[in-house]
Amino acid sequence: MLLTKILAPFAEDIEMPTKGRSSGFSLLELMIVVTLAALITAIGVPSFQSTVANQRRTAAVNELALAFNLARSEAIKRVRYVSICKSNDGATCGNPTVEWEDGWITFANADNASPGTVDPGDEIIRVHPALNDTLTLRRTGVVDGFVSFRPSGTLGTAAVNHTGTLTLCDHRGAVAARGMILRPSGQWIVSDDVGHDGAVLGCP
């Protein structure tokens, strides 16, 4: 036992009575065990919680990146607009009360029109469910309820380029935030401090 190894150097200096000796823990031994357990818990639990939070954040960022990769490649392959929009029902683009963390869908526009709306004939390529309820995903810039890729692979619609930041946050706030910065070229980068406009990432 670990406790036996710890106390071994002192064993020769301690005279233990042989008569009526108990094989259980002494009060001193119990106090040592409790103290060690408290120390291990105090050190280990916050570290474990941070690891879990980091894994959730990384998984969410990866899922979002995969969605953008898919949408861009499908737009080029199909030679039509392919959009990603926030959606909490997996079938339609959400109204203003729906947030990006509620889920999103990737869909192709049959007639290259209304890229922010799922119209009859449009094909839903993939549905992404809501993120873990400890996470938020909010937008800034020319990104609102949807992001669209043109057939050329660039970001935007016939009327406007899409540029902005989707910021992922958890209970730790801005200190642990990650921002997906979207470029009109169709490229994006992940930042841990600032968004597309150079402003510090903020969390709701």
CA distance 138 to 101: 8
Q: Using the structure block, give the residue that is written with the tokens 């909010």.
A: 138
Nearest to 204 by CA among 168, 165, 163: 168
Cβ atoms of residues 137 and 100 within 8 Å: yes
Read off the tokens for 79. Answer: 């030679």
On whether the CB atoms of residues 182 and 166 are closer than 8 A, the answer is yes
Would you say 146 and 86 are in contact if contact means Cβ atoms under 8 Å apart? yes
Top CATH class of 28-133+144-153 equals alpha beta
Amino acid at 161: N
Beta-bridge partners for 36:
none
- Given this model, what pLDDT does residue 42 score? 67
The pLDDT value given to residue 39: 74
pLDDT in tens, the chain (204 residues): 444 444 455 445 444 444 555 556 677 777 777 777 777 766 666 677 888 999 999 999 999 999 999 999 999 999 999 999 999 999 999 998 999 999 999 999 988 778 899 999 999 999 999 999 999 999 999 888 999 999 999 999 988 999 999 999 999 999 999 999 999 999 999 999 999 999 999 998
pLDDT, position 24: 63
DSSP percent split of the chain into helix, strand, coil, nearest 5: 35, 25, 45
Q: Can you list the pairs that 49-53 forms with residues at least 24 positions away whose Cβ atoms lie under 8 Å?
A: 53/134, 53/170, 53/171, 53/172, 53/176
Residue 70's CB is within 10 A of a number of other CB atoms, namely 16
Domain ranges of the chain: 28-133+144-153
Q: Which of 181, 184, 182, 183 has the alpha carbon at shortest distance from 195?
A: 181
